[in-house]
Amino acid sequence: MSDALISSPGGVLAVLCAVAAFWFFIDQITQWKLFQYIPPLLFIYATPVFLNNLDIIPSGSSVYSGLSTYALPAFIVLMLLKVNVPATVRIMGKGILVMLMGTAGVIAGAVIAYVLVHRWLAPDAWKGFGALAGSWIGGTGNMAAAAEMLDTPAEQFGLAVLADNVVYIVWLPLLLASKNFADRFNAWANVPEDRLRMMDSASAAVLEEERTPVMRDYIYLTAIAIGVTWLASTLASIFFHAMMQNYPSLETVLSESTWRILLITTIALALSVTPVSRLPNATAIGTAMVYVFVAGMGARATIEGFGQAPAFLLGAFIWIFIHGAFCLAGAKLFRVDVHSVAIASAANIGAAASAPIVAAFHRPSLVPVSILMALLGYAMGNYLAPITGHLARMAVGQ
């Protein structure tokens, strides 16, 4: 019997939902500039940490496992349905290659940074690095999925959330300020004179507004999310047991949970090229579920785990500047303008929450495609983030 003030599953779930709703409500009614630099995500994670440590909600509840089993697969499906690779490539052109260079920088930066700071971190800190790689390749949903695949401890996940937000405070102003150097940057990168005009024209021709949802759309989305989850879970069990019979040494990298999430990701990406992708509001519903899931991760954490924060943050800053160097190299190599480079980096590091902010500041006509670029990162994150974590682990011989 838990000693927590609120211990019933219904009560715990209500608290997690209320925490997520509260911080977005505060953001909405106050319009504090604070939330432009510290997204509500950090507060949504931190609040349940304190509620747990103050014995208001328990550190263990069937709700938390339920979120992993049901909510996580559902939001992966819903958010991936809107990935539109052809449209993104048509509009951004070689800007996509810069984003991929930035993704490569995230992977390389994680390994290098972990090698430099791991001696001051817990032995399982590579799992936290893998979770943070998920956020910096695709977004918060990828962070949650990577944490599930790597079995990341709640404390390490908390360090990843903290580092994600602290770095964001520094990195976002740099991306915004880069607009002031557009002419010099574009001259340095030898950007073709008609590149910006061609992007604006392609954006106007390709993108269309999402229609207003009706009731049946939500029924369709529910059926798709649950159906994909069931199918992927069934296949994951089959594949995992076959792997254990033939290649048991792979269990360290490919757990049954990893199989499940990779299959969910793959099936959802396949659906994104079908008419299913036109169902409205899928991304918004998926994102709401992500925030409740993150609150659940916070409820499992203890405050003691944050003693590693200085070393983890040092590693994160080393990491982010390696990512930036890769982006600059991509801009020079592919002759891409500063606006596209800033959006590409934001699509990696800040995902769908930040890429539109950077696009609106640099070039408003690219706001819609900035969201598509973020979703492209989301499509890659579930594959690449766990690999990044394992590369960091192997780099130090763990």
Alpha-carbon 384 to chain mean position? 12
Nearest to 81 by CA among 233, 272, 252: 272
Asked if 347 and 103 count as a contact pair (C-beta separation under 8 A), the reply is no
Enter the pTM of the model: 0.88
**pLDDT tens for the 398 residues of the chain, in order:** 467 889 899 999 999 999 999 998 988 888 776 776 677 888 888 899 889 888 899 988 899 889 988 898 999 999 888 888 887 888 788 889 999 999 999 999 999 999 999 999 999 999 999 999 999 998 888 999 999 999 999 889 989 998 998 898 889 889 989 999 888 999 999 988 888 788 777 776 666 667 888 999 999 999 999 999 999 999 999 999 999 999 988 888 888 988 999 999 999 999 988 999 889 989 889 888 988 988 888 888 776 667 788 999 999 999 999 999 999 999 999 999 999 999 999 999 988 778 888 888 888 888 888 888 888 898 899 999 999 999 999 999 88
CB neighbour class for 50 (10 Å; exposed up to 12, middle 13-18, buried from 19): middle
SS3 398: coil
Asked if 339 and 196 count as a contact pair (C-beta separation under 8 A), the reply is yes
CA–CA distance, 311 with 379 (Å, rounded to integer): 30
CA–CA distance, 149 with 256 (Å, rounded to integer): 9
Backbone region of residue 38 per phi and psi (left: phi > 0; alpha: psi in -120 to 50; beta: other values): beta
Other CB atoms within 10 A of residue 29 CB: 8
Which DSSP state fits 253? Answer: T
In the chain, domain spans: 84-276+304-395
Query: SS in 3 state form for 152-188?
Result: CCHHHHHHHHHHHHHHHHHHHHHHHHHHHHHHHHHHH
SS3 113: helix
CB neighbour class for 166 (10 Å; exposed up to 12, middle 13-18, buried from 19): middle
Backbone region of residue 230 per phi and psi (left: phi > 0; alpha: psi in -120 to 50; beta: other values): alpha
CA–CA distance, 160 with 236 (Å, rounded to integer): 27
177-184 long-range contacts, CB within 8 A, separation 24+: 178/338, 178/341, 178/342, 178/362, 179/338, 179/339, 179/342, 179/361, 179/362, 181/338, 182/337, 182/338, 182/339
The first and second tokens of residue 222, run together, are: 């529910």
